[in-house]
Amino acid sequence: MQATKKELIYEGKGKKMWSINESDDLLISEFKDSLTAFNGVKKAEESGKGALNCKISTLIFDLLKKHGIATALVETISPTEQLVKKCKIFPLEIIARNIATGSLTKRLGIKEGTKLPFTLVEFCYKDDELGDPILNDEHCLLLGAVKSQSELDELKKIARKINGILIKFFDERNLKLVDFKIELGRDKDGNILLADEISPDSCRFWDKQTDKKLDKDVFRQDLGSVKVAYEEVLRRILG
Ligand code: 5GP
């Protein structure tokens, strides 16, 4: 579909969102080359990173669509731009974890690399000023981030379904899906859609044999070239 940018309506750390002339229900989501970590304290530009994430996220959303996950992605219209359905995003980072690392090891002292006995689903409040604090179910209700426990349970169910599909997909490509963050929203008809992106910026991938990190931890921990790591993820997705 032909889509021309009208107005910049939001600029985040990794993306710009544009309204378009052709429809009030659709937006253009533009992937940026910027990399940020530690709540924006560490910053860098990596030319080509936006295009890599746009490609990887498109492939993953297409896979999830085939497995019955409703997504906001309509069409990828350029190397860094997607046409997406407008939706009201739950103000939550929904995190699924299969292996302990990152903030989980710091918070609970679970040894890095421990395989969790079940997939842990967590919620963080999307609020940069507060540093995206972790929430329990009652916090989510208290803050009005969801309307009811059953709505929250639905978000958990979608996160677990996505995890099940992706863990198998990446396992077949010699990658461990360690953890990931997703964002969900409701469209104007009330459907819950997978929004934002799924990419090495929002997931952790480790090589199955060596545990080599192939995700944004390469940037967070200065482990080498981010682009080389993301290109490796793309290469394995394409098989
Ligand atoms: P952790 O809580 O261990 O820092 O992160 C858990 C997972 O969620 C990791 O895959 C991480 O990349 C992702 N994640 C957590 N917060 C954010 C965020 O603000 N933006 C993005 N893109 N991913 C996040």
Q: Is residue 233 part of a domain?
A: no
Task: Give tens-digit pLDDT for 191-216.
Answer: 999 999 999 999 999 999 999 999 99
Q: Is 19 exposed, middle or buried (0-12, 13-18, 19+ CB in 10 A)?
A: middle
Task: Give tens-digit pLDDT for 41-86.
Answer: 999 999 999 999 999 999 999 999 999 999 999 999 999 999 999 9
45: left (phi over 0), alpha (psi -120 to 50) or beta: beta
Domain boundary among 85, 109, 136: 85
Residue 177 confidence (pLDDT) above 90: yes
Question: Looking at the structure, do residues 100 and 30 belong to the same domain, yes or no?
Answer: no
Using most ligand atoms within 8 A of CB, pick from 94, 181, 220 the residue to mutate for ligand 1: 181
Reported as type and span, the H/E element at residue 204 is strand 203-207
Residue 131 is predicted with a pLDDT of: 94
Reported in sequence order, the residue ranges of 12-107 that DSSP labels E, i.e. its strands, are 15-20, 26-31, 34-37, 42-45, 73-78, 81-85, 88-89, 92-99
Residue 65 is predicted with a pLDDT of: 98
Question: Looking at the structure, do residues 121 and 193 belong to the same domain, yes or no?
Answer: yes
Domain boundary among 85, 111, 128: 85
Question: Looking at the structure, do residues 117 and 198 belong to the same domain, yes or no?
Answer: yes
Q: Which atom of ligand 1 is nearest to the CA of 132?
A: 19
Residues above pLDDT 90, as percent of the chain: 98
Task: Give tens-digit pLDDT for 128-165.
Answer: 999 999 999 999 999 999 999 999 999 999 999 999 99
Reported as type and span, the H/E element at residue 10 is strand 5-11
Q: Is residue 236 part of a domain?
A: no
Pocket around ligand 1 at a 6 A CB cut-off: 93, 95, 102-104, 132, 179-181, 201-204, 216
Q: CA-to-CA distance for 212 and 223, rounded, in angstroms? A: 10
Residue 92 confidence (pLDDT) above 90: yes
Residue 1 confidence (pLDDT) above 90: no
Domain boundary among 48, 67, 85: 85
Q: Which atom of ligand 1 is nearest to the CA of 39?
A: 19
CATH number, domain of 182, equals 3.30.470.20
Q: Is residue 111 part of a domain?
A: yes
Structure pTM? Answer: 0.97
Question: Looking at the structure, do residues 68 and 133 belong to the same domain, yes or no?
Answer: no
Residue nearest to atom 15 of ligand 1 (CA): 181
Residues above pLDDT 70, as percent of the chain: 100
